[in-house]
Amino acid sequence: MGPADPTQAGRGPEEEGPQDQPPDGQAASKKKGYSLRGNRKRFTGPPHPDRDKQFSYIDRQRKAFLKAGDPVVSVDTKKKELIGNFKNAGRAWRQTPDEVLAHDFPSDAECRAVPYGIYDLAANRGFVRVGTSKDTPEFAADNIARWWRDEGSRRYPQAERLLIHADTGGSNAADSRVFKVRLKEKLVDAYGIAVTMCHYPAGASKWNPVEHRLFSQISNNWAGTPLRSLKVMLSAIRGTVTKTGLKTRARLNRKNYRTGVKVTNKVLASIGMQRHKVCPNWNYTISTQSLE
């Protein structure tokens, strides 16, 4: 007999098939702890063997940067949203239901919005740029550079280095050559600041601070409110505040981004990227010095 399947954990004999009715009648079943329940997303598959090592390294890097007074941000792309008279999950206080389209057809949308978020851990501030094009590596690098220009450089005028936490995939993927080169061009060289990237292992995006400290709060704020226009979306993001002091700024990014951009080995080697000894595929620093 092989090892137990972890995806079956927690299943009892009463869960062998669909249950439309309580097994012992509603009243009796409630006394036994039964109630109508949905599914719970829990299992993420086998963890990467270096998962714990990377989490520990991220924690050490974060503490070192914060102790030195250097900026630490967490970045990611939030779920893309159709802009138009579409249903938005959740409920909002109103006297009558807000009537929306019965179907979410992209052809009925003004556009598909791409919110890219930057969360400043020390300042507890969110910065979101909403794109209307593709979620590309250049889009991600542009948004991070814009945050530094508008906020980071003013909040940390003496800083010479920046730590960025990101997922291992997506537009800011750990294996994206374009993302690394664009970071070098648009942030490191443009503003003279070294950038250290620490990526979370696959399947661990929920631990990325931007997810639970910024994106979840934005979703709560616009819950039940149809995002009928980009103006409505931007207003909802800007109105995202919390009792712990979170404040959020939002900007529109109308630039059109191309997909399929390639970076040669020579160009990648020229940016002077230094991989760290710990999990080098996930941790690296891009400095202002280039290799010719």
Amino acid at 28: A
pLDDT surpasses 80 at 17: no
Task: Give the pTM.
Answer: 0.84
Domain ranges, ordered by start, for the chain? 51-91+105-286
- The rounded mean pLDDT for the chain is 90
CA–CA gap between residue 41 and residue 251 (Å, rounded)? 32
Segment 181-229, tens digit of pLDDT: 999 999 999 999 999 999 999 888 889 999 999 999 999 999 999 999 9
Segment 94-105, tens digit of pLDDT: 888 889 999 999
Average pLDDT over residues 254-280: 96
Determine the CATH number of domain 51-91+105-286: 3.30.420.10
Return the minimum-mean-pLDDT range out of 10-19, 76-85, 106-115, 251-260.
Answer: 10-19
pLDDT surpasses 90 at 79: yes
